[in-house]
């Protein structure tokens, strides 16, 4: 197949979607398919040079996160015929609206990944933003999903949650799963590089948070929960690794000081490449107390390293984690998160070894990208074959 992946940005600071498109494009190409990526990034952006497939940047997009870039519409009108299927990543942004407008006119199919953007948590957390989205939902993103040949979800949990944000919702839904690549082999040099940057971590037991520093990630919940259990092991550290996307770190440091654990938290900023893998392997456990998490690529990366995961039940793969015994799960509240960490710290060494082995098994059986890519490709093939369906045969006004 000839596949076009469309997303607002490949900036790794944006989290899961940029990383997932890098991974998925490589997996598709290994299976013999042709892949291109188009983004609304500035063509001079430094993060565009590390991909194995052709990448076109038609930005920079304007108007904040909406990223209005009219050059994308012109580009797609010229290039749409070159692809069997277009994969739109994300909603509420210009690229999804423009893709639907162009392909519907040309009678070409597309599929959409929402990447968790329809989780009702956002409606509850930001009611005014949700009201603003309602003003254009019927004329824009509702139609983007309605007219997609498929709307793809990574978990059944995500699919069910997506139905709760707007009463006006219609989509040809399909759950395809997701995953990531196996990590590079463990290397003493990788660990040495991490210890050189953060010598306070060497030979220390630590819990690892590795994600964006953002309210939706429950960072404040994690800090308060850690404060409740810190006395159980005075040598235990909490590593907060990730970009400060919301400008929240300073407030969290004040919180940590008020809780009396400021010196027990190591703030690393964003970790990537060998440092990321070394941190995941060295961690006692990976912790993510998110209030909403569509899939959690980094959760799966931890599993791939044989690192147990301590997560909230708002991470949409929590059932799979719990069923496999690959970690512990709690609600996204401070008391429940503290109890989860306390339980982990109390496990006997042989039980910890069992959980580590279960983490590795779960990754290879369910989340290694090679097998997942085949499932997604089958969905794309079905969508491409649906070109003549009524998704693309006139302006529908039915709801």
pLDDT (tens, 9 = 90+) of the chain, 399 residues, equals: 999 999 999 998 877 788 889 999 999 999 999 999 999 999 999 889 878 899 999 999 898 889 999 999 999 999 999 999 999 999 999 999 999 999 999 999 999 999 988 988 888 888 888 888 888 899 999 999 999 999 999 999 999 999 999 999 999 999 999 999 999 999 999 999 999 999 999 999 999 999 999 999 999 999 999 999 999 999 999 999 999 988 999 999 999 999 999 999 999 999 999 999 999 999 999 999 999 998 889 999 999 999 999 999 999 999 999 999 999 999 999 999 999 999 999 999 999 999 999 999 999 999 999 999 999 999 999 999 986 444 444 444 333
284 and 378 in a single domain? The answer is no
Q: Is residue 107 part of a domain?
A: yes
Q: Is residue 397 part of a domain?
A: no
- Alpha carbon 190 to its chain's center: 25
378 and 361 in a single domain? The answer is no
322 and 376 in a single domain? The answer is no
282 and 355 in a single domain? The answer is yes
- CATH at residue 324: 3.40.50.2000
144 and 192 in a single domain? The answer is no
Supply the pLDDT for residue 274: 94
What pTM was computed for the model?
Answer: 0.87
Q: Is residue 150 part of a domain?
A: yes
Q: Is residue 399 part of a domain?
A: no
Residue 277 is part of which domain span? 188-367
233 and 163 in a single domain? The answer is no
Q: State the Cα–Cα distance between residues 19 and 301, nearest whole angstrom.
A: 11
DSSP annotation of 100 reads: H
**SS3 assignment, position 287:** strand
Q: Is residue 348 part of a domain?
A: yes
Q: Is residue 159 part of a domain?
A: yes
158 and 210 in a single domain? The answer is no
Find residue 210's DSSP bridge partners: 241
Supply the pLDDT for residue 122: 86
Supply the pLDDT for residue 368: 95
Total domain count, the chain: 2
154 and 106 in a single domain? The answer is yes
164 and 194 in a single domain? The answer is no
Sheet of 309-312: strands edge to edge?
265-269, 237-241, 206-210, 285-288, 309-312, 327-330
86 and 193 in a single domain? The answer is no
- Identify whether the C-beta of residue 340 lies closer than 8 Å to the C-beta of residue 329: yes
- Identify whether the C-beta of residue 314 lies closer than 8 Å to the C-beta of residue 333: no
Q: Is residue 147 part of a domain?
A: yes
68 and 125 in a single domain? The answer is yes
Q: State the Cα–Cα distance between residues 352 and 354, nearest whole angstrom.
A: 5
58 and 166 in a single domain? The answer is yes
């Amino acid at each position: 197949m000839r596949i076009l992946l469309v997303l607002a940005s490949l900036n790794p600071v944006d989290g899961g979607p940029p990383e997932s498109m890098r991974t998925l494009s490589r997996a598709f190409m290994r299976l013999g398919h042709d892949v291109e990526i188009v983004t609304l990034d500035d063509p001079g952006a430094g993060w565009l040079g590390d991909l194995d497939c052709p990448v076109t940047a038609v930005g920079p997009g304007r108007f904040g996160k909406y990223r209005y870039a009219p050059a994308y519409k012109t580009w797609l009108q010229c290039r749409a015929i070159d692809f069997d299927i277009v994969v739109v990543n994300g909603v509420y942004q210009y690229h999804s609206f423009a893709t639907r407008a162009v392909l519907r006119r040309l009678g070409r199919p597309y599929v959409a990944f929402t990447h968790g953007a329809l989780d009702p948590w956002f409606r509850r957390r930001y009611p005014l933003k949700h009201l603003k989205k309602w003003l254009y939902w019927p004329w824009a993103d509702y139609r983007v999903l309605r007219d997609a040949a498929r709307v793809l979800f990574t978990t059944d949990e995500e699919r069910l949650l997506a139905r709760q944000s707007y009463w006006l919702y219609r989509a040809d839904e399909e759950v395809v799963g997701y995953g990531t690549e196996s990590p590079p082999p463990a290397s003493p040099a990788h660990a040495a590089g991490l210890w050189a940057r953060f010598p306070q971590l060497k030979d220390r037991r630590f819990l690892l948070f590795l994600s964006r520093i953002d309210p939706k990630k429950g960072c404040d919940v994690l800090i308060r929960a850690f404060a409740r259990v810190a006395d159980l092991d005075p040598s235990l550290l909490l590593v907060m690794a990730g970009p400060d996307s919301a400008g929240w770190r300073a407030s969290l440091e004040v919180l940590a000081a008020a809780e009396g654990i400021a010196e027990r938290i190591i703030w690393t900023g964003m970790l990537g490449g060998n440092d990321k893998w070394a941190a995941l392997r060295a961690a006692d456990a990976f912790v993510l107390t998110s209030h909403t998490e569509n899939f959690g690529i980094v959760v799966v990366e931890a599993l791939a390293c044989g690192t147990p995961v301590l997560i909230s039940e708002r991470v949409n793969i929590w059932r799979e984690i719990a069923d496999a015994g690959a970690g512990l799960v709690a609600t996204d509240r401070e008391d429940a998160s503290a109890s989860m960490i306390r339980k982990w710290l109390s496990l006997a060494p042989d039980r910890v070894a069992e959980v580590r082995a279960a983490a590795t098994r779960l990754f290879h059986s369910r989340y290694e990208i090679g097998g997942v890519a085949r499932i997604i490709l089958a969905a794309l093939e079905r969508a491409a074959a649906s070109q003549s369906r009524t998704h693309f045969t006139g302006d529908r006004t039915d709801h």
